């Protein structure tokens, strides 16, 4: 029986590619060049499936132009806002993602961002590396302790709960807002806020863990930033478009907010250039899932979904069935 034919848009970890070579007739991306719309369509020719990532925009136009042979798109990501699920369903193309496997890695990055922002790591590192650090000073480079601070989590899902668990170890008081309140066992003592405004008003540190939807895009904006306590910190490991860049940059530059820790950006990697000049912006290049363990787990989860599909079983993580 011939192996399923698969086009892979990005270079994946070696262990994942080894399994691809073993089980599929896979066309890989050996140099990890970013594929264009044209190269994706060219690569899809004669294939049964696509294995894509968050950097690939799989919109309705591209889906409509796919060959009829493509029956499933597996994405190497938890997020799937880069894929038009409605268009895929209309074409009879299954879409599957990789949930559950990057929870701990992303929660760790959220804590790194909180600490880096709170303790002025960007300016401190720059001072050290530029040779400007002359001595220890009683009033030098003073940051904010996380102990005793109120952490507001927008979206207490898997990653939000993992972040809350770590924050409690730092002595933080956890608050959250979801569309629906969680059961007590999942809250683990966190205080529920029925609306975003109530959450923002008490958030000494606001950590974003919600999906990018029409309701959440630019939910951090001039109006909602005004609700935050003076000198609050904003942390984002979710999606860049949840934040209105101009509003956040304005609040950081004016000192209305003490700092921000950002791992994701709108239009990344082309982040708003004004962030780069802000000493109170602690920035990372989308490292949330960047551990060997997690990236392997993401790849294996994507392949599990493909294995199920080609074995005639519903993929575990199908999104649009």
3-state SS assignment for residue 157: coil
Cite the active site residues: 239, 268, 286
- The count of C-alpha atoms lying within 13 angstroms of the C-alpha of 54, restricted to the half-sphere facing its C-beta, is 20
> In the prediction, which pLDDT does 321 show?
78
CATH superfamily of 103-283: NAD(P)-binding Rossmann-like Domain (3.40.50.720)
Domain extents in the chain: 5-101+292-310, 103-283
Q: Which two tokens stand for residue 306?
A: 């493909």
5-101+292-310 and 103-283 agree in CATH topology: yes
Q: Are strands 72-75 and 94-96 parallel, antiparallel or unpaired?
A: parallel
Q: Whole-angstrom Cα distance, residue 122 to residue 264?
A: 17
Residue the block writes with tokens 């939807």? 213
CATH pick for 5-101+292-310 out of 3.40.50.720, 3.40.50.2300, 3.40.50.10330, 3.90.1150.10? 3.40.50.720
Q: Which two tokens stand for residue 265?
A: 């950006």
Q: What angle in degrees, to the nearest 10, is found between the helix axes of 14-23 and 292-310?
A: 20
Neighbours of 162 (CB within 10 A): 20
pTM greater than 0.85 (yes/no): yes
Per-residue pLDDT of the chain (321 residues; tens, 9 = 90+): 799 999 999 999 999 999 999 999 999 999 998 999 999 999 999 999 999 999 999 999 999 999 999 999 999 999 898 999 999 999 999 999 999 999 999 999 999 999 999 999 999 999 999 999 999 999 999 999 999 999 999 999 999 999 999 999 999 999 999 999 999 999 999 999 999 999 999 999 999 999 999 999 999 999 999 999 999 999 999 999 999 999 999 999 999 999 999 999 999 999 999 999 999 999 999 999 999 999 999 999 999 999 999 999 999 999 987
264 within 8 A of 236, measured Cβ to Cβ: yes
- The count of C-alpha atoms lying within 13 angstroms of the C-alpha of 310, restricted to the half-sphere facing its C-beta, is 23
DSSP strands (E only) in 46-106: 49-52, 72-75, 94-96
Q: What angle in degrees, to the nearest 10, is found between the helix axes of 158-169 and 103-118?
A: 50
> In the prediction, which pLDDT does 79 show?
87
């Amino acid at each position: 029986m011939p192996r399923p034919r698969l086009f892979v848009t990005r270079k994946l970890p070696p262990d994942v590619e080894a399994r691809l070579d073993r089980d599929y007739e896979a066309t890989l991306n050996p140099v990890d060049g970013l594929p264009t719309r044209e190269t994706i369509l060219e690569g899809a020719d004669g294939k049964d499936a696509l294995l894509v990532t968050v950097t690939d925009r799989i919109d309705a136009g591209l889906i409509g132009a796919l060959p009829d042979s493509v029956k499933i798109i597996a994405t190497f990501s938890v997020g799937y806002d880069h894929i038009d699920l409605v268009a895929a369903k209309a074409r009879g193309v299954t879409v599957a993602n990789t949930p559950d496997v990057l929870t701990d890695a992303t929660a760790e990055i959220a804590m790194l961002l909180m600490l880096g922002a709170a303790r002025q790591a960007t300016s401190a590192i720059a001072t050290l590396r530029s040779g400007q650090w002359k001595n220890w000073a009683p009033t030098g480079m003073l940051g904010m302790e996380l102990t005793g601070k109120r952490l507001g989590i927008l979206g207490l899902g898997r990653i939000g709960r993992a972040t809350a668990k770590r924050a409690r170890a730092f002595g933080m008081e956890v608050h959250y807002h979801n569309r629906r309140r969680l059961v007590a066992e999942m809250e683990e003592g966190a205080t529920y806020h029925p609306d975003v405004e109530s959450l923002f008003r008490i958030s000494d540190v606001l950590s974003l863990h919600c999906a990018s939807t029409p309701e959440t895009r630019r939910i951090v904006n001039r109006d909602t930033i005004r609700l935050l306590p003076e000198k609050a910190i904003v942390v984002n490991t979710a999606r860049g478009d949840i934040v209105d860049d101009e509003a956040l940059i304005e609040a950081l530059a004016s000192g209305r907010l003490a700092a921000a820790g950002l791992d994701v950006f709108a239009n990344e990697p082309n982040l708003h250039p004004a962030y780069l000049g802000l000493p109170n912006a602690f920035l990372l290049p989308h490292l949330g899932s960047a551990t060997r363990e997690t990236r392997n787990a993401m790849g294996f989860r994507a392949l599990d979904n493909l294995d199920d599909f080609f074995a005639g079983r519903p993929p575990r993580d199908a999104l649009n069935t």
